[in-house]
Structure 1
């Protein structure tokens, strides 16, 4: 637990420093972390005999984030489509057959799951209120995890999905919603100059998306026979073990901000 808290505090300090000094540092950090996450996930799926071509995936992932930063969501979609095409061509040229189709489709999933979703954090960062909006998004995810953990430990009796994630409970989910909505309202009123209900909606929708992300990654790990995706973050597991709820939450928060702010 001490290690986990120390790593968590260190990550928060790095995040705050990047937002304070230059938002472009945050964007660069996102690219680095996502690149490492792609490597971690590519290594994990080799347990099922799947070979992911990392070079076009890394290049395409970087292209998605640069496109999102420079030209917005339309450019991001185009970069994602080009990445999928490049991955397919690369893998077929490297050796065709059914294995190539399987590997290419898995790589496209990874491209959508990691760099594409992470690029919504870049889209949030390029807003006029980018640093505060990014901080609000991260704070909602942290509040969701914290509220869920506390409520689950104190009151958890009814499992949400025992076959997928036995430790998740409906009481923990209620705790996640409560604290995330409070944090969302606070950021809306005091940092983003938005109505309180927009903050409440960010918290509500963010927790729903984050929970789906958690369960989705649990399914992937169960299919691969893994407890954690890695060991690079002591007390937390792998990079993907920290990114699951963040990746699922960020497009939802972006859409709420874009449509309602």
Structure 2
């Protein structure tokens, strides 16, 4: 049984219902407002899709009813304009709206002229000079203090390096600090000087192991540092034979430690570890041998350090003032033969006077001592420069401002102390 239609119809609901529903009794025609915004009556709103006739398409040569649609518009399809409304003669764009143009959508906007924008109130922009790029800085990395530089705020001033490539004030300050760290315990408490030497050797081993990793080698750091400290103690308490024994123990301990990492790269790592063990703790152990000499051990260390400092200072002054002929351009381009002559001369003169005052040694023997120590110091400097150039590093580290790493200061001392130990053992015989 079909139920009656609640919308007013008496027709039964079912398959026999006509396709077009009857018009609803509301809203009434005289109540529903009509106008351009509501052009359909209430009956039309509820009529089916067949109730609203679709306007026929006009030909392109017929006059357009839209005042903004020119004749022959090929894009006018089925009398529907580009805004989705039917072309029935009524302009739905609203009063006061400018016409639209598909080809030039901004043609209705007034052009902007340069005279309309006053620029006299803005200060002129001055272009700053392009700073010179540091050749040692990798490309793509900005210079420090350059990002916010302007005409009113100049770039941050960077400390200028000297001709030798150092920040001279920082280098002098750090050098004086290191000298005080060595001399104060040397003259007042020798066991503290031994601790300073052991600490310096440990830092040097760490810098060397860190640098050789750039070549792919990975020497064990723990046995190297432990063996280096052991070698310093053996040299202090038992002499040069114990120092050689400590070197052997360090190399064997490093080899055993490295076995735990497998066979991959074993020979390469062991070779690097042996080089570090000989270069840093073994050569540095001669400083402990110098200080362990009875009665005048502190004076022997002082004579050696003064000879090295005079060699370095004399070479720096002569190289900056007169250096023209490079000594080893492929290893250290800034070293010159003039600087080498200044190093040897300064060390010879200073050592001749110092050994005569401290040990009552003839001046010519003192001068020979200074020349030998200076040559050894220069060779040590060149040796480390060759290692750094082979590894592709400028400094071993950046622990010391103006100097680089600690090994950059120990390079000449490490070669000088064995030479000084042997010569002083001959010129100034050991007592007791």
1:198 and 1:256 in contact (8 A); partners too: no
Any runs of at least 4 consecutive aligned residues in structure 1 with deviations exceeding 3 A, and if so which?
none
Aligned pairs for 1:172-187 within 5 A: 172-187=339-354
Note the alpha carbon deviations across 1:11-62, whole angstroms, 9 max, x for none.
Answer: 1111221112112211110100110111111111111111111111111111
Separation of aligned partners in 2, 1:2 and 1:208:
27
* Bigger mean CA offset, 166-175 vs 190-199: 190-199
Separation of aligned partners in 2, 1:195 and 1:62:
37
2:311 and 2:346 in contact (8 A); partners too: yes
Partner of 1:134: 301
Note the alpha carbon deviations across 1:141-189, whole angstroms, 9 max, x for none.
Answer: 1000100011111111111011111110111001000110112112211
Larger Rg: 2
Q: Report how far residue 259 of structure 1 moved.
A: 2.2
Q: Report how far residue 64 of structure 1 moved.
A: 0.7
Separation of aligned partners in 1, 2:394 and 2:357:
40
Q: Report how far residue 85 of structure 1 moved.
A: 1.1
Higher relative contact order (CA 8 A, sep 6+): 1
Partner of 1:171: 338
* Structure 2 gap ranges (5+): 1-167
Q: Give secondary structure in 2 for the equivalent of 1:191.
A: helix
Q: Give secondary structure in 1 for the equivalent of 2:335.
A: strand
1:229 and 1:237 in contact (8 A); partners too: yes
Aligned pairs for 1:98-137 within 5 A: 99-128=265-294, 129-137=296-304
2:235 and 2:243 in contact (8 A); partners too: yes
CA-based RMSD of the aligned residues comes to: 1.1
Q: 1:88 aligns with which of 245, 248, 255?
A: 255
Separation of aligned partners in 1, 2:179 and 2:245:
32
Aligned pairs for 1:171-210 within 5 A: 171-210=338-377
Q: 1:23 aligns with which of 190, 193, 208?
A: 190
TM-score (norm 2): 0.59
* Structure 1 gap ranges (5+): none
Number of residue pairs matched?
260
Partner of 1:246: 413
Note the alpha carbon deviations across 1:213-249, whole angstroms, 9 max, x for none.
Answer: 1111111111111111111000110111111000011
Note the alpha carbon deviations across 1:107-164, whole angstroms, 9 max, x for none.
Answer: 0110000000000000000112111110111111100010001111111111101111
Matched, 1:32 2:32: no
Partner of 1:144: 311
1:133 and 1:192 in contact (8 A); partners too: no
Separation of aligned partners in 2, 1:58 and 1:195:
41
Q: Give secondary structure in 1 for the equivalent of 2:347.
A: helix
Q: Report how far residue 192 of structure 1 moved.
A: 2.2
Q: Report how far residue 260 of structure 1 moved.
A: 2.6
TM-score (norm 1): 0.97
Separation of aligned partners in 2, 1:197 and 1:120:
24
Separation of aligned partners in 1, 2:322 and 2:292:
40
* Bigger mean CA offset, 192-201 vs 243-252: 192-201
2:201 and 2:229 in contact (8 A); partners too: no
Separation of aligned partners in 2, 1:218 and 1:17:
30
